Structure 1
Amino acid sequence: MLTASLQSFIKQLLNEGADLHFTPLGGGSINHTYRINSPGKKFLCKINKFSSFPGMFEAEQAGLELLASQQVIRIPQVIATGRTGDNQVLLLEWIEQGLRTEAFWTAFGEQLAALHHVQQKQFGLPTDNYMGALPQCNEPAASWVDFFIQKRLQPQVKLAVDHHLLEPALASRFEKLYQQLPAIFPAEPASLLHGDLWSGNFLCDEQQRPVLIDPAVYYGHRSMDLAMTTLFGGFDRLFYESYQYHFSLPANYLQQWEVCNLYPLLIHLNLFGKSYLADIVNTIRRY
């Protein structure tokens, strides 16, 4: 990925006269990531192919800046975005990491609750973005149930059926779930969401402050964020206790979380295959 011309382009984006040192980082299945060292400065660099993920980094920049504008939780500063040939580049502030203490988890719960208190009437967002490697439609809707069905579940169910990952007979069972959603999700305002809040999409900085990264931002039901925290093992108990103290959960929150997690499970089914099918089947059969 890091040809001489691409390195030169990144240098121009950073407006750096000094030589840059690139260190490859492990990570996601979508981007090549690097730590960039220049004299006295560090940056995070993400690179992928525009033809594969058109507009991904512009959408990520918009999401990060929307979250940062609320001033309730730390978000990496966007340094620059750019495109050269078929390469698109996102340059971010480098975050040095610290120890996840009890104070960190308590602050994280409180700050996510504060983010979810940023609310509006409509669900969605004026612009679309990505959930992992898949495009995510955020066309606004007046109700959560309509938005969740039409913009989250139905597109992923159709994609799974089209790629023979989900049997049509099982897909049809989602219709029974859709009928029950108004009772599962009583009306509440749309909250500003991170949108992809699993354990790989937050950091702890050197001052034990939570930092959100790699968002899939929109205004939705807050159970979407909370449900995703449980999908791959869950967060520390103090996180949930702190969130509950600052923004009370409904009595059926576990049911809401189970239903909400159908969306990321369908995303994973469509991206990574049938190893995620059993969890989807187990949930949908209960409805």
Structure 2
Amino acid sequence: MAPTVADRVAELTGRAVATLAPLGSSHAWELYRAELDDGARVFVKALPDAAPEGEFAGMFATEARGLAWLGGSFGSPVPEVLGADDRTLVLPWVEEAPPTPEAAERFGHQLAAMHATPAEYFGAPRDGFIGPLPLDNTPRDSWPEFYAEQRLLPYLARATDRGALTPADVRVIERAVDSIGDLAGRPEPPARIHGDLWSGNVIWQDDGAVIVDPAAHGGHREADLAMLALFGLPHLDRVRDGYNEAFPLASGWRERIPLHQLHPLLVHVCLFGAAYRITALNAAQAVLRGD
């Protein structure tokens, strides 16, 4: 008989599972809160017991490596990985607190500390995932080339194949992609970035925040901040204030927000179809206008 989720958690943590409470699902995997036999509570992300790994093979091990890599700087807002294999990820349970201006400013400091830890190149040693989609992390030395070839064009092609974009949409977005070299701003070294930092991946605490579900890689630090703005984050101005106090952003960062948002918007077009078509098109047009 295949091991159950509780069996897998016990094997990974070395402690028996006293209770396992389902929290719903996300994409193809299930979420749980577990209490171990020593009273510790943990968060579990797992493929269903009977589900084949298929296209998600290695996803949780990749996520665990990404969290450990992002957490390799003092003050980084990343949880410790308690255990992971190809089917299961176990993290400490984080008690949420209401977001406050003070926690937001502290989170800005934490995010700056993570970004200030250098990456070797744009990309990562292994390919990864963003949500359930594959993510090409082939290392490159040039951010405009990396962003165009590995963060925009693959998802533009996937969205086009899905029929979610019109030929006219594609032409506008291709023009935005062609302009990256001119609009990228002053070159910056690759930073350790989360890569999928929308507000749902921020868990607030009294003294800052914890970030989860990364698509970790060496990238442009403005990408994480632009994605925080994409779907809204409480006290975002205070986050930016704290960030700029610790690691000031380069001039022109506001004008580059649509450029950095184009990647997650194309990912959303791939996942959810034409519901995000206009938003992605608007971002491409803003890029071309230099808004």
Alignment of 1:139-150 (within 5 A): 139-150=138-149
Distance in 2 between residues matched to 1:153 and 1:93, nearest whole Å: 34
1:188-221 CA-partner distances (Å, limit 9, x unpaired): 111110111111112123x423211111101111
Alignment of 1:87-236 (within 5 A): 88-120=87-119, 122-185=121-184, 186-205=186-205, 207-236=206-235
Alignment of 1:70-81 (within 5 A): 70-81=73-84
1:35-77 CA-partner distances (Å, limit 9, x unpaired): 1112321111111242141110011000010011212223222
Q: 1:38 aligns with which of 12, 36, 39?
A: 36
The runs of 5 or more residues in structure 2 that have no matched partner are none
**SS of aligned partner of 1:175:** helix
Q: Retained in 1: the 8 A contact 2:8–2:88?
A: no
Q: Which residue of 2 aligns with 1:259?
A: 259
Distance in 2 between residues matched to 1:89 and 1:54, nearest whole Å: 11
Alignment of 1:45-64 (within 5 A): 45-48=44-47, 49=51, 50-64=53-67
Q: Classify 1:15/1:246 alpha carbon distance in 2 versus 1 (closer, same or farther; 3 Å).
A: closer
Q: Retained in 1: the 8 A contact 2:105–2:208?
A: no
Distance in 1 between residues matched to 2:277 and 2:4, nearest whole Å: 43
Shift of 1:120: 4.0
Distance in 2 between residues matched to 1:195 and 1:5, nearest whole Å: 31
Q: Which residue of 2 aligns with 1:7?
A: 6
1:76-109 CA-partner distances (Å, limit 9, x unpaired): 22122235xxxx1111111222232222111111
Shift of 1:121: 5.8
Q: Which residue of 1 aligns with 2:247?
A: 247
Distance in 1 between residues matched to 2:8 and 2:174, nearest whole Å: 50
Shift of 1:155: 0.2
TM-score by length of 2: 0.89
Shift of 1:184: 1.4
Distance in 1 between residues matched to 2:112 and 2:174, nearest whole Å: 32
**SS of aligned partner of 1:25:** strand
Q: Retained in 1: the 8 A contact 2:176–2:285?
A: no
Q: Which residue of 1 aligns with 2:27?
A: 29
Q: Classify 1:171/1:44 alpha carbon distance in 2 versus 1 (closer, same or farther; 3 Å).
A: same
Distance in 1 between residues matched to 2:112 and 2:35, nearest whole Å: 35
Report the number of matched residues: 279
Distance in 1 between residues matched to 2:110 and 2:137, nearest whole Å: 24
Provide the alpha-carbon RMSD of the alignment: 2.0
Distance in 2 between residues matched to 1:279 and 1:62, nearest whole Å: 32
Q: Retained in 1: the 8 A contact 2:35–2:41?
A: yes
Q: Does 1:281 align with 2:284?
A: no
